[in-house]
A = this chain, B = another copy of it.
Amino acid sequence: MTATPDARLTALARGLAAPRGFVEASLVDPAPTAIRLLGGVPAPEALPVEAIGRASAELWQDADAAATALRYSSPHGSAGLRNWIAKREGVDPHRIVMTNGGMHGLTLAVLTIVERGATVAVDDPVFPGFLWALEVATTRILPVPVVADGFDVEHLAARLAEGARIAAAYTVPDFHNPAQVSLSAEKRRGLVDLAERYGFYVIIDNPYRELRFAGKDQGVAPFNESDRAIHVNTFTKLLGPGWRVGWLVLPDHLVEPVIRLRGRLDVHSSSVTQAIVERLVTADDQWYDRLAGTATALYRHRAGVLVDALREHLPDAFEIQAPEGGLFLWPRLTDDDVDPAALFRRAVAAGVVYQQGEYFAADPGSGSAARHLRFSYSDRTPDELREAVRRLASAFRAGDVS
């Protein structure tokens, strides 16, 4: 009569795959001296620890504010924080719902609009975290190539015209993870038009938006003005991943369903973290932009160091595009005879670790992602980046002689 334990795991948790690839690379245990170019995480020195300390101290010294921070609050999120965000997003504060960071925003979107087993169009290459989030509803995906100006809207339009039906389309529009590129303004409008025409939602994952080095902002108005777009953002890249504070910009008709679901999942985001973040960003109207400016300058410099070092030490190994922003470089191996898995093993042996392109393939059959490497430069110093490239160069040379 007793069921075996695993036979009882028949609920939502069933069928969630064990993390692999992408996460395993993060778990690779190379020499302690190895240089890791792995995660899209902010540089510790770019995080405003002193300002956080001051904001925290003010909070706990203010008896009323402290009492409020320790109480239950609304699943919708802190009104002060939502007002501040709404002004920047150019929308009514009602349409902002606070989340526990970007991944939470993605999962809330998926659980709200994706029926179990439905098909969702996704970037190819794709941020693997979205596929994990998507697994709570479906594993059926329609890979859409990411080209020089981002998600290939025409490709999707053709598939829809042929009869393909999707619940949603997912893309990272600014400084794509992993493919660096940004979606052009025209294609932003085109994607939203397609969603309105065919009745699906676009899930817009936008954590790197504030980190522009070069090029022109392609704008988020098409997303924020559409009834068919869910715009996901987070404080992770500027204030640190540890907070778990982010937000959704939702169409009006999705605000109540998302709040209702969200209230079920964990009631609301921490009132404490929201209170501290609210103090940080609202105390001085320019503070957040200054923070973004400082962080962006740092990342621009590091991206430049990495690109220069690759051009110096491995001049023919990669096709490289200088990043216009964000945290990633996505160089393509020029020599089709190079085995990326063997190169990775030699790189680990030489003391440098990165993400292999194959882990970002939405359509593993196409093989194109596997010809890329993903380097994250944000949390490595210039010296580390130069040394990482020297080690990578030695891994290439080891391949030549083996």
Enumerate chain A interface residues (CB-CB to B < 8 A).
1-3, 5-6, 8-14, 16, 18-19, 39, 41, 44, 47, 49-50, 52-53, 56-57, 60-61, 63, 66-73, 99-101, 103-104, 107, 110-116, 132-133, 135-137, 167, 196-201, 227, 239-245, 251, 253-254, 257-258, 260-261, 263-273, 275-276
Q: Who on chain B is nearest to A57 by CB?
A: B57
User: For A269, what are the chain B residues with a Cβ–Cβ distance below 8 Å?
Assistant: 244
Q: How far is the CA of A5 from the CA of B199 in the complex (A)?
A: 8
When the two chains form their complex, are residues B2 and A113 in contact, meaning their CB atoms are under 8 A apart?
A: no
Q: Would you call the interface of chain A mostly helix, strand, loop, or mixed?
A: helix
CB distance from A270 to the nearest CB of B (A): 4
When the two chains form their complex, are residues B107 and A10 in contact, meaning their CB atoms are under 8 A apart?
A: no
Q: How far is the CA of A100 from the CA of B196 in the complex (A)?
A: 36
Q: How far is the CA of A50 from the CA of B60 in the complex (A)?
A: 7
Q: Who on chain B is nearest to A129 by CB?
A: B267
12 further A-B contacts with Cβ under 8 Å, apart from A5-B227, A19-B263, are: A13-B257, A16-B264, A44-B67, A44-B71, A47-B70, A49-B60, A100-B100, A100-B270, A107-B264, A107-B265, A132-B263, A136-B265
**Copies of this chain held together in the complex:** 2
When the two chains form their complex, are residues B72 and A242 in contact, meaning their CB atoms are under 8 A apart?
A: yes
Contact of A267 among B111, B198, B244, B260 (CB under 8 A): B244
Q: How far is the CA of A14 from the CA of B263 in the complex (A)?
A: 14
Contact of A241 among B72, B201, B275 (CB under 8 A): B72
User: For A263, what are the chain B residues with a Cβ–Cβ distance below 8 Å?
Assistant: 19, 132
Q: Who on chain B is nearest to A256 by CB?
A: B18
Q: Beyond A44-B70, A61-B53, is A9–B107 a contact (Cβ under 8 Å)?
A: no
Q: How far is the CA of A278 from the CA of B381 in the complex (A)?
A: 31
When the two chains form their complex, are residues A12 and B261 in contact, meaning their CB atoms are under 8 A apart?
A: yes
Q: Who on chain B is nearest to A69 by CB?
A: B242
When the two chains form their complex, are residues B267 and A8 in contact, meaning their CB atoms are under 8 A apart?
A: no
CB distance from A382 to the nearest CB of B (A): 19
User: For A69, what are the chain B residues with a Cβ–Cβ distance below 8 Å?
Assistant: 240, 242
Q: How far is the CA of A39 from the CA of B267 in the complex (A)?
A: 14
Q: Beyond A56-B56, A103-B267, A253-B5, is A242–B49 a contact (Cβ under 8 Å)?
A: no
Q: Beyond A67-B44, A71-B242, A242-B69, is A137–B107 a contact (Cβ under 8 Å)?
A: no
User: For A276, what are the chain B residues with a Cβ–Cβ distance below 8 Å?
Assistant: 272
The 7 closest A-B pairs by CB, nearest first: A70-B240, A53-B60, A242-B271, A104-B266, A3-B199, A100-B266, A12-B111
User: For A14, what are the chain B residues with a Cβ–Cβ distance below 8 Å?
Assistant: 257
When the two chains form their complex, are residues A265 and B264 in contact, meaning their CB atoms are under 8 A apart?
A: no
Contact of A70 among B39, B68, B200, B242 (CB under 8 A): B242
